[in-house]
Chains A and B, each alone.
Chain A
């Protein structure tokens, strides 16, 4: 269970209003301070998520902007039965999805214009596995292999391992059954591990 599904760390320490109280205050009384407080609380986690999921800090900055703009515009659609973080990251994953679709369309246009030439990913600046293997460090290798995953797969790893969302909460975020989320999560990890084994083997045989 995500720690802030009920109350955030700050709320537990003092008498801070919960995220839910803040979003309801913003909705009910159009309280801009409540909105700003929410942004202050969540901005760090949102930007970190977007940077790692998109693989590009510059893109992440634009996406972060879009997340909070959507939060402001569609704050009224918040359903208090759900936790605020789940709802916020549902917005963030939708923003990522739209960006992914735009990027794919652009790639398709590029390849049709240039005779199916494969272009390097214009936004994902992660080093490729072959480059990183030379560094020899497990962390770097893992980072490189993760860079090769799809945005959706990286998103899944981050939601569970960094943001501590449970499989059920991720299911709510991605509109997917909990069991599917869990099995997808383990498949991603296993694929990643196979990729790393292959890299190690390549390194040994080179």
Chain B
């Protein structure tokens, strides 16, 4: 196989012009001895080259199909840092305003409490009435969802149990069918044994043949016989 592969690779190289002068002459000699195979390889190389050089559709080659808007390409998308810089205010006072707004927003999101003696002062971050009103509704929706999940869970539990029971019943059936088959085969064998013995008795060969060829049958099988 490898030898064939090597030979084929040499022949391919010959047709593709990849061989040195001496090797080329040697392969040319080889090709003369197998004209049919040589011509197959040549046709193959020509076909692959033909595919590679096959012209593509004229419409594809039209340069106007290439939509290169060089003005836009030249600029390209602005780097992220550049775009960010455009968003940032350039004056110092604007920076200050932005920082103050950020601080106010952050404070409004945090709940503070300070205890002085028996008094506790709390400010910031308290939920609004609207938010408080929404909470019972959301709890109810969640409770409904939990209940439906529990029901689904119970259904799945029942199904799993029934599958387990079916599995047990099936296992038992396979076991009993198996023992029945074994028992039937045993009976059949025994019947054949007795039939054969009777045949030997009828032909008068019983004692001599049985002594020579038949093993005495196991007592438990014999007692079952008939």
Given contacts A142-B47, A196-B44, contact A72 B66 (CB under 8 A): no
The A33-92 residues at the B interface (CB cut-off 8 A) are: 35, 39-40, 43-44, 47-48, 51-52, 57, 60-61, 64-65, 68-69, 72-73
The A143-190 residues at the B interface (CB cut-off 8 A) are: 143, 146, 157-158, 161-162, 182, 186, 189-190
List the A residue with the shortest CB-CB distance to B50. Answer: A139
Indicate the size class of the contact surface on chain A: 35 or more
Stretch at the interface among B8-16, B150-158, B191-199: B8-16
**Contact among A35, A47, A157, A190 for B70, CB-based, below 8 A:** A35
B204 at the binding interface (Cβ < 8 Å): no
Question: CA–CA, A171 to B65, complex, Å?
Answer: 31
**Contact among A52, A61, A73 for B52, CB-based, below 8 A:** A52
Cβ B48 vs Cβ A146 within 8 A: yes
- A-B pairs with CB below 8 Å: how many? 85
B55 at the binding interface (Cβ < 8 Å): yes
Question: CA–CA, A143 to B51, complex, Å?
Answer: 6
Cβ A69 vs Cβ B73 within 8 A: yes
Which residues of the other chain, B, contact A186 by a CB distance below 8 angstroms?
Answer: 9, 12-13
Chain B, residues 45-64, CB within 8 Å of chain A (1/0): the string is 00111111111110011010
Cβ B56 vs Cβ A57 within 8 A: yes
A95 at the binding interface (Cβ < 8 Å): no
Q: What residues of chain B have their CB less than 8 Å away from a CB belonging to chain A?
A: 5, 8-9, 12-13, 18, 41, 43-44, 47-57, 60-61, 63, 65-68, 70, 73-74, 76
List, sorted by A's number, 14 A–B pairs whose CB atoms are closer than 8 Å. Answer: A35-B70, A48-B55, A52-B51, A52-B56, A64-B66, A65-B67, A72-B70, A73-B76, A138-B43, A138-B47, A139-B50, A142-B48, A161-B48, A161-B52
10 interchain residue pairs of minimum CB distance? A161-B52, A162-B52, A142-B47, A72-B73, A48-B56, A51-B56, A161-B49, A138-B47, A186-B9, A44-B61
Given contacts A43-B66, A57-B57, A161-B53, 8 further A-B contacts (CB under 8 A): A32-B70, A44-B61, A52-B54, A60-B60, A139-B47, A141-B47, A142-B50, A193-B41
